[in-house]
A and B are shown apart, each in its own frame.
Chain A
């Protein structure tokens, strides 16, 4: 960082490091900070105590702070901010940082550090925070001089929110928080020459892409979390593009809501637990338009059999995503909004005479696949099927101002399959890292940003126990988050894989002593609801919605239901396991030796 002219600054710019932190947060538009105090951040907490512009949400574990910041960010498009002390505070937040890195969530994490003179001495609560967080952040800083602090915080927000968004860490030793220096305002902060993320896509490539789509007989649009990250405008443009081109569209887990689930061209989610029509269309298409997604292994399945006959267009803001897993024909590096703007404009100018009827054969083929009804499940009058529970939850909440988060596992996939998302930023889930324990704190973050909304964490009985302590946080701050547990007494997805891969030997995937979730809710000062009969489910869900307090809804579902359709690992998109074919024997033999080695 270069030195700046400080002569012009008046006394008002003289302040302590801790004051700078609060001032810089304020200048960067921060209204909420999720954090937990400790020795090395006490000066910052003292400043928090003496102001009321920024609200501090006291978490119960720093991992919770990280996920809350993620949920806050994903539901608002603004960066989430968390604050942790040195040592264990910083290490606790590492899971959330990696989670945010993999899902490209803008997040600024401030950590305290032992005083500079003690760094390297194995001081109490010391850890090498920048060393530990280097691979799980987009960038990080250790600020050893108070004169650099304000500029570093400004840069941290810039890096976290621009280009491909991601988490950043600013590590601030305690003596720097106490020291006095000159505050550099946001508009005076120098910018770094080496960091210049792409914005607009190459015009020639975009023209070529449109040409390909125009001539396609079997096009498909495959969109991802990048569309959500690019802002609501991107979703609007995506809808325009789908309408103009008439192309069917599927989306990754992270991209749900960018195109409405009720839309005419919607194929449902693709990938390992995606719909038959989405995966078959991906496999058979002749032109694939990937927008803000990254050909993750959950999406592609067996890569050498992935969409073998298609020309591929890939729109991504991150050049390293191009050709990483799948070779593409036309890479377009740029912000999704900008590239989609160009695509829509060029299509309107060049191809507005093209009618959707040209794709009649392709749509007929897709309708055949659709008729296969790959999300079918056999309903039951006596036990609640987990799919039924999500369907009812959707029906009873879809007309409200609802935000959904999830933990990780079967319930997450069922939520993605059966809850219809109509708008972006309404769906918060841990896609890349697959973090059990994400959903509840993320929901708290969402609720902080949208105090009057209905925020529901669709959870599993195992995942919810990974960050259950945040009930205390929700109750303290009056955040009426609803936890909807699909309780099957198993780590369902682990069990499903053991059935697929390990001869149904259910090693440690059964949770022997489950807490009484109703009592647990009450113990924390929330409300507990239990339901185990399909006939009582609607009333129970309506009761949950009407309660203005944190609720734990213990929905006892069929214990042995599994999540289908599924592309077994090592298989291609057209080798799906469909629910009506998934007998015990088929399940036991679905994955061959090569697939068994994969994750």
Chain B
């Protein structure tokens, strides 16, 4: 997307301060009200931040809260800005950097999962092979007729990537993915203990 070279939005960074770009998964708890997603996305596009993946759904119906999971990338400075800028949005309750939190808890990464639907068209040997691969990946057949399958596969991003790669060679004609949803291990919730 709109990759940004500069450490911040300031036009006055004449010399590039070298900083490593890292990927982070953020959990953003928001009031579920009209326009809230537009506020979050508008912040990213308006300030030139990256969105690698974004998922959103209402998670606490009675409190009208939604949870947005955003995978973003940037230098440490940019990531700090993203967090504080998100927290400035009035209906945003909380922004948690899941990667940072995982490290504090003593884990390498938070649990991140993705779901994909893959439509594979083919016949003969390819069709059999697709079924075998799906079985190995624990992908479920959710629709089929004599010349196609739709597989549902869930798991880590790397697993979904790999599954899709193989299916492409076996006649995948349509792919859709949910993007990453994530939470941290341990007995603490996003609000703390």
Contact = CB atoms under 8 A, between A and B. Distances in A.
A304 interface: yes
B125 to A, nearest CB: 52
B135 interface: no
A320 B84 contact: yes
B91 A192 contact: yes
B6 to A, nearest CB: 11
A320 B81 contact: yes
Contact of B35 (A134, A319, A570, A595): A134
Contacts of B93: 193-194
Contacts of B33: 1
A465 to B, nearest CB: 29
Given A134-B35, A319-B84, A324-B8, A159 B13 contact: no
A323 B77 contact: yes
Interface in A1-33: 1-2
Contacts of A139: 89-90
Contacts of A195: 90-91
Contact of B87 (A130, A193, A300, A320): A320
Contacts of B81: 320, 323-324
Given A135-B46, A193-B93, A194-B90, A304 B15 contact: yes
Interface string B3-17: 000001011111101
Contacts of A323: 77, 80-81
A159 B84 contact: no
B14 A304 contact: yes
B91 A131 contact: no
A301 B84 contact: no
A297 B10 CA distance: 7
Task: Give the interface size class of chain B.
Answer: 20 to 34
Contacts, number: 70
A320 B88 contact: yes
B88 A192 contact: no
A142 interface: yes
A325 interface: yes
B191 to A, nearest CB: 11
B35 A304 contact: no
Contacts of B159: none
A495 to B, nearest CB: 22
Most buried by A among B14, B17, B34: B14
A573 interface: no
A67 interface: no
A194 B46 contact: no
Contact of B12 (A135, A194, A300, A319): A300
A193 B15 CA distance: 42
A302 B87 contact: no
A138 interface: yes
A319 B13 CA distance: 21
Given A135-B46, A320-B81, A599 B14 contact: no
Interface in B68-98: 77, 80-81, 84-85, 87-93
Given A159-B90, A193-B93, A598 B42 contact: no
B82 to A, nearest CB: 9
Contacts of A131: 35, 38
Nearest to B86: A320
A599 B9 CA distance: 13
Interface string A313-339: 000001110111100000000000000
Given A135-B42, A194-B92, A303-B12, A322 B84 contact: yes
A371 interface: no
A594 interface: yes
Interface in A339-370: none
Interface string A172-196: 0000000000000000000011110
A130 B35 contact: yes
Contacts of B85: 320
Nearest to A140: B35
Contacts of A595: 14
B138 interface: no
Given A138-B90, A324-B81, A192 B12 contact: no
A70 to B, nearest CB: 21
Nearest to A298: B12
B88 A598 contact: no
A134 B31 contact: no
A176 to B, nearest CB: 15
B8 A325 contact: yes
B132 interface: no
Contacts of A2: 64
Nearest to A323: B80
A1 B89 CA distance: 16
A416 B15 CA distance: 31
Interface in A246-261: none
Interface string B39-55: 10010001000000000
B150 interface: no
B167 to A, nearest CB: 39
Given A192-B91, A194-B31, A297 B84 contact: no
B93 to A, nearest CB: 4
A325 to B, nearest CB: 5
B30 interface: yes
B11 A599 contact: yes
Nearest to A195: B90
Given A304-B13, A318-B88, A194 B30 contact: yes
B83 to A, nearest CB: 9
A194 B35 contact: no
Contacts of A134: 35, 38-39, 42
A527 B156 CA distance: 75
A194 B89 CA distance: 9
Interface string B97-136: 0000000000000000000000000000000000000000
Nearest to B10: A325
Contacts of B14: 302-304, 570, 594-595
A14 to B, nearest CB: 26
A323 B75 CA distance: 13
A319 B90 contact: no
Contacts of B17: 304
Interface string A398-428: 0000000000000000000000000000000
A297 B87 contact: no
Contacts of A319: 84, 87-88
27 contacts: A1-B33, A2-B64, A130-B35, A134-B39, A134-B42, A135-B42, A159-B90, A192-B90, A194-B90, A194-B91, A303-B12, A303-B14, A304-B15, A304-B17, A319-B87, A319-B88, A320-B85, A320-B88, A322-B84, A324-B8, A324-B10, A325-B8, A325-B10, A325-B12, A570-B14, A594-B14, A598-B12
Q: Ordered nearest first, which 9 A-B pairs have the shortest CB separation?
A: A320-B84, A139-B90, A194-B93, A303-B12, A319-B84, A297-B12, A325-B10, A320-B85, A195-B90
Interface of B: 8, 10-15, 17, 30-31, 33-35, 38-39, 42, 46, 64, 77, 80-81, 84-85, 87-93
Given A194-B93, A323-B77, 7 more contacts: A2-B64, A134-B35, A134-B38, A134-B42, A319-B88, A320-B84, A320-B88
